[in-house]
Structure 1
Amino acid sequence: MIQHKYIDGICLGGGIGAAALVIWLLLFGRQVIPAATAAPGYVSRLFDESRVHTIDIRVEDWGAFVARAEEKEYVPCTVEIDGTEFYQVGLRAKGSNSLRLIGEYGLSRYSMVLEFDHYLEGGNYYGLDKLSLDTSFQDNSYLKAYLAYDMMDFMGVPAPLCSYTWVTVNGTDWGLFLATEEPEEAFARRNFGAEYGQLYKPDYRSLSAENADVALRYIDDDPDSYPNLFDNARFSPTEEDKKRLIAALKTLSTGENLETAVDVDQVLRYFTVQVFVMNWDSYLGHTGHNYFLYEQDGIISILPWDYNLAFGTYALGMPNPIRDPNIIINYPINTPAEGSVMLNRPLYHNLMQNETYFQRYHAYFDQLLSDYFESGRFETLVRQVEKRIAPYAEQDPTAFCSAQDHRQAVDTLVELCLLRADSIRGQLDGTIPATLREQEERPGVGVDASAVALEDLGDFDDLRAAREKQEAALEAVLSEAGN
């Protein structure tokens, strides 16, 4: 029993103080207690873009992890981010074609996933449940994904946060990676609030299959007809969730009353950027994947993902890959894919059949060109980021290219984007053909891009040349572990 001659006064004072605190919080608490939708702690930490961050991955057997990377199985690790340690974090390699090709070329620099709640329920990095480390595969500039996400954000499309980080493995240098917020619970909460909807990452099981669900085509009312959607849900969808999504796809298929099923404005903004960056490893490409689908209250929208093969450098899976920079940089904005692909991509095609939406799509292109490119914002941003990451790119022990190749790739990407902006400006004002048919009727009309060497952005020759360097970096990690 507590004995104090002033105990009654203390208790009374404590009670009054507690009551006052409750009243104060009720009246003013919203000013100091972050709401569930307020910016979580990870936004101002790892995703502070003003500097290059540090991540040390401590794993028991790095050699075994690299050797079994293509299995994409998780292993536990300790992660130190900017000096703060996190234990029992799930680590695995990520990717599809990039994962396969890195293995085929005998390389070891894989993109990776760090999942903080894989082994520990509720585990997180200041509110973030999962992040990925992008290896910049076939991207000698290290800038493709960064720029694509920045453009999406600029146009008001919910996009993953990203920042550059210097990765070490068990204290030994491994390279410069792009840390990216993975779209899961934290991403959904940050962008859509505590009562967020359903999130899917549609993906094909086989390229030879029809994959109608990946293309967001309505098949029938049976959820079992959409395995590439529902088997790739980020959250566990209920039967009602499935019915709502199927109903939205059914409405989309009709081309009528689209605003009852589609967040039209957001989707148009997304396609504006998507078409600008010429990303054919995407919904508008032959594979039709590499995007996220968000649904809430029966309204669907599309979210950006995976841009290492953007800016005209995608060739995997295409029957006749486009190599001519004049064709790529002048690629038409009104028919950004072949007819057989366009007709099977209702989220783009059916919206563009509506004249009001079509004109809004053009208006968003005008906004992107005027405010992002023609204003000088784009070049300023690129040169700022280039200066920030240059020292790290120069000493990257597992880089797919040399420091000189990196500098050349940055300059090439800048030139490509500015020429692409000039071409689209011409397409908007009618001086350059804006459809594939018009281009056939007026061959050779467009900006002259013959001086652009697309292979400077990253090619298969770089993979062959990187093998010796990456073998040495792997050996350095393993040797240090042996000591």
Structure 2
Amino acid sequence: MENKTIMKKIAAVALALVFLLGSITILRIYAADKSNQSGDTIVTESTTKATTGYEDLFKKDSVKDIYIEVSETDWKSMLADPLAEEYKSASVKMDGITLENVGFRTKGNLTLRSVANSDSDRYSFRIKLDKYVKGQSLLGLDEFVLNNMYADPSYMREYLSYEALRIIGADVPLANFANIYINGELYGFYLFVEAVDDSFLERSFGEVDGNLYKQEQGSTLQHIEGSSYDKSELKVGDDTSKTDLKNFIKILNEMPEGEKGDIEKVLDVDSALRYIAANTVLGNYDSYSGNMAQNYYLYGQDGKFTVIPWDYNMSIGGFGGGGDQTTIPIDEPVLGVKVENLPLIDNLLAVEEYKEEYHGYIKDLLGYLENFEGRVTELAKIIRPYVEADPTKFYTMEQFEANISYSEVKAEAAQTSITPQEKQGLPQQPQNQTGAATDDSKNVNGFSGNRPEPPQGMPEGFENGDRPEPPQGAIDGNMKGGPGGRGMMGGSTSIMNFIRDRVANILQQLSGELPTTGNTTMNNSRGGNGNNR
């Protein structure tokens, strides 16, 4: 009896120690500065690596308040030269937790230049929490981006695209909505997105032990003997020689026609098929599937790569370009480029087993889209008040409503509030006080007739005659930005109209009523470019 009593006492002491140690751990993680009178948690260098995870920050359909404090000098410097994308030290507060000395900068590519050349300061931002303080994170999150909804009057394209990808099992960033406050003032209603970096890799793959490559414009994955593949930027890892990447690209291009070859040794094929299927169904051509060949990551572990999707603000009919994108054949799912110049699509879909799996993912996506209109209506109820209150929005509320509504009349005619220039994806012509167009209206898309040059080393299939147009709404100071702004009308097609028409067309293809090949948009179309940095 006495032994039992002793054992119970020992067990009780052990249990108490467990709770005590757990409490100490929690205190270390959430250690507060006692001098802080606001009651907020101030996270310091030694207490920032949380063990509980940060998924709750991205609770479905929620809206975060994110407060950014940056010195007036640094803020003015950022706005004066946004193209520098120079990190400034700032503090960030979210969910009552404040992190000091984080990296804060503008982000983007052609979209960044478009905003910089306008009268709007509504930039997208990248926040790197461990930029200046090694190991600093927010509940384990080390980096995130704040996307400005460029070219998306619906505010939903990227959010719903990641949701669809998640449904079919893809490894994609977490995302939700956020009101952004800068130096105490509401700056705008943004999309809050987990960056593809160490914390994403740890969450998705369990550990960070591989090499992560960001695929920049022109990343077609065609094999080029002796190439250093400069469009593949090493973001995480130490394989600066890109040995594994080069081996993967070589094996991909050497697949025997209609056969697997050794591809499964160097590629998680399912990750590629999911990515291609989502781009096909959602009409995401600011991607590997379009003439820009960009906006995706490759993560290699032990020489085997996974495709990680990225940047969907121009999906669901928002990319522009020629032809009816709702009718693109599913077995040649590209826009503005020959499918044979995109081996990740052409070679994989030539294998019958892979094509069947790809069709399976397409069917899964169609299942998700069965209630698309209900989902959009549900989401609109949540975000509408925030969109309306957004002080820097690019679009009017009429444009928001038109973009999330179905119309029997084609969207081009339905949006009566949109000017003829906006219907073509062009900015409104600036007018003088008499209402006459100024001389600046001679500049098509504000590039004064000078289209951007194609990327250096652009492979065959991206001929000079098929240079990408500047993004819809990209201009030289002529955009109507700021409160109630009406510029940047890329993506003016209603997401409801696009999905209804696209789903109907794909169902006809799958049933055999329409062919799954015979793409007429290959190498004859131009499009824009998203926030791909």
Q: Tell me the TM-score normalized by structure 2.
A: 0.69
1:136 aligned onto 2:149: yes
Do the aligned residues in 1 keep the contact of 2:291 with 2:335 (CA within 8 Å)? no
| Separation (CA, whole Å) in 2 of partners of 1:53 and 1:363 | 35
Q: Distance in 2 between matches of 1:276 and 1:389?
A: 25
Distance 1:282 1:345 in 2: 11
Distance 1:334 1:273 in 2: 13
Tell me the equivalent position of 2:53.
Answer: 41
Relative distance call for 1:150 and 1:201 in structure 2 (3 A) is same
Name the residue aligned to 1:401: 395
User: How far off its partner does 1:195 sit?
Assistant: 4.9
The one-character-per-residue Cα deviations of 1:211-248 (angstroms, maximum 9, x if unpaired) are 4xx2112223x5x622222xx21213236x83222222
Q: Shift in Å at residue 426 of structure 1?
A: 0.7
Counterpart among 166, 169, 183 of residue 170 in structure 1: 183
Which residue of 2 is the match for residue 367 of structure 1? 364
Match of 1:276? 281
- The change in CA–CA distance for 1:119 and 1:20 in structure 2 (over 3 A counts) is closer
User: Over residues 52-98 of structure 1, what are the superposed CA-to-partner deviations in whole Å (9 max), with x where a residue is unaligned?
Assistant: 11011111123332222111000111111133211111100011010
Asked if 1:228 corresponds to 2:240, the answer is: no
1:419 counterpart = 2:501: yes
Output the CA distance in 2 between the equivalents of 1:235 and 1:352: 30
Unmatched segments (≥5 aa) in structure 2: 1-8, 22-49, 256-260, 406-493, 523-527
The amino acid that maps onto 1:433 is: P
Contact 2:210 2:236 in 1 (8 A): no
C-alpha distance in structure 2 between counterparts of 1:15 and 1:278, whole Å: 61
2:376 matched to 1:382? yes
Change (3 A) 1:19 1:163: closer
State the SS of the aligned residue for 1:414.
Answer: helix
In 2 relative to 1, CA 21–99 (structure 1 residues): closer, same or farther, beyond 3 Å?
same
Match for 1:57 among 68, 86, 103?
A: 68
**Offset, 1:342:** 1.4
How far has the Cα of 1:266 moved from its partner? 1.9
Q: 1:274 to 1:339 in 2, by over 3 A?
A: closer
Q: Is the 8 A contact 1:133 1:177 kept in 2?
A: yes
Figure out how many residues of one structure are paired with residues of the other and give that number. Answer: 392
Question: Do residues 346 (structure 1) and 343 (structure 2) align?
Answer: yes
| Distance of 1:19 and 1:250 partners within structure 2 | 57
| Alpha carbons of structure 1 residues 19 and 338: separation in structure 2 relative to 1, 3 Å | closer
Cα pair 1:293 1:302 within 8 Å, conserved: yes
**Does structure 1 retain, via aligned residues, the 8 Å contact 2:286–2:315?**
yes
Structure 1: distance between partners of 2:254 and 2:17: 57
Structure 1 pair 279–40 and aligned structure 2 pair: CA distance change class (3 A): farther
Query: Shift in Å at residue 381 of structure 1?
Result: 2.5
Task: Give me the CA root mean square deviation.
Answer: 2.8
**Cα gap change, 1:178 to 1:39, in 2 (>3 Å):** farther
The equivalent of 1:98 in structure 2 is 111
Task: Please state whether the residue corresponding to 1:234 is helix, strand or coil.
Answer: strand
Whether 2:235 is the aligned partner of 1:244: answer no
Aligned counterparts of 2:337 and 2:188: Cα–Cα separation in 1 = 41
| CA deviation profile, 1:339-363 (whole Å, cap 9, x unmatched) | 8531121111110111111122112
SS of match in other structure, 1:79: strand
Name the counterpart of 1:436. Answer: 518
Deviation, structure 1 residue 330: 1.3
Counterpart residue identity of residue 245, structure 2: L
Q: 1:393 to 1:67 in 2, by over 3 A?
A: same
Partner of 1:445: none
Please list the CA deviations of residues 102-161 of structure 1 after superposition, one character each: whole Å capped at 9, or x if unmatched: 112221000001110001111111100100001000101000100111111011000000
| CA spacing shift, 1:439–1:267, aligned 2, 3 Å | closer
Helix, strand or coil at the partner of 2:507? helix
Paired-residue identity, %: 33
Separation of aligned partners in 1, 2:335 and 2:129? 42
What is aligned with 2:140? 127
- Give the conservation status (yes or no) of the 8 Å contact 1:40–1:190: no
Supply the distance in 2 between the matched residues of 1:430 and 1:313 (Cα, whole angstroms).
28
- Specify the alignment match of 1:452 in structure 2: none
Which residue of the partner structure matches residue 116 of structure 1? 129
Q: Decide whether the 8 Å contact of 1:132 with 1:181 is kept in 2.
A: yes
Distance 1:88 1:195, change over 3 A: closer
- In the alignment, is the contact (CA less than 8 A) between 1:343 and 1:349 conserved in 2? yes
Equivalent AA in structure 2 for residue 427 of structure 1: Q
Take 1:73 and 1:243, find their aligned partners in 2: how far apart are those partners?
Answer: 31
Higher percent of residues as helix: 1
Partner in structure 2 of residue 475 of structure 1: none
